[in-house]
Amino acid sequence: MGMATVSIDSGNLVVEMEGLDKLWALKSRLEIPLANVRGATADPGMVRQPKGIRTAGTHLPNVITAGTFRLDGEKVFWDVRDAEKAIVVELADERYARLVIQVDDPRSAVDLIERSVKR
C-alpha cells in the first residue's frame, strides 16, 4: 500500500512518496517552503470532487489518483488510494495550488502542518 509521508525539515514541508506511488505520481519528493503553506485539512470528500484534466500521472477511478491534474486553471498534485486517509494541503505562490495526499495518520499529519505553519 503506497502513500506519502509528511515531515518538516529546515523550514520546508517535505512530502515523500513511498513504494510504487513514486511511479504512479511521477514524483518521489516535494519540498515546499512553510511560508507558502496556507494550511491543511483531513478531507475524505475531496477525493469525490472533479479531478480536472490529468497532465501527468495515473487515474484509475476508485483505485488510485496520482500525479498532476489541472482544475479551473490551477494545478493540483494527487497521491491517493484510500479517501479516508486523504489530506488536502493548501499552498500559495507555488507550482501547485494544493496537494491531495494519502498519509498513514491524517489527523497527526494535519496537526504537524498546522502547528508548523502557525509558528
Confidence of residue 1 (pLDDT cuts 50, 70, 90): low
Q: Which one is predicted more confidently, 33 or 118?
A: 33
Does residue 119 carry a pLDDT above 80?
no
Q: What is the mean pLDDT of residues 98-108?
A: 96
Give me 49's grid cell: 470532487
Confidence of residue 79 (pLDDT cuts 50, 70, 90): very high
Strands of 74-80's sheet, edge to edge? 37-42, 86-91, 98-102, 74-80, 64-71, 53-60
Does residue 101 carry a pLDDT above 90?
yes
Tell me how far apart the alpha carbons of residues 17 and 6 are, in angstroms, rounded to a whole number. 9
Number of structural domains the chain divides into: 1
Domain holding 42: CATH number?
A: 2.30.29
Which residue, 93, 11, 2, 82, is CA-closest to 42? 82
The share of the chain scoring above pLDDT 70, in percent, equals 97
Q: What is the mean pLDDT of residues 8-23?
A: 93
Q: Which domain holds residue 94?
A: 4-118
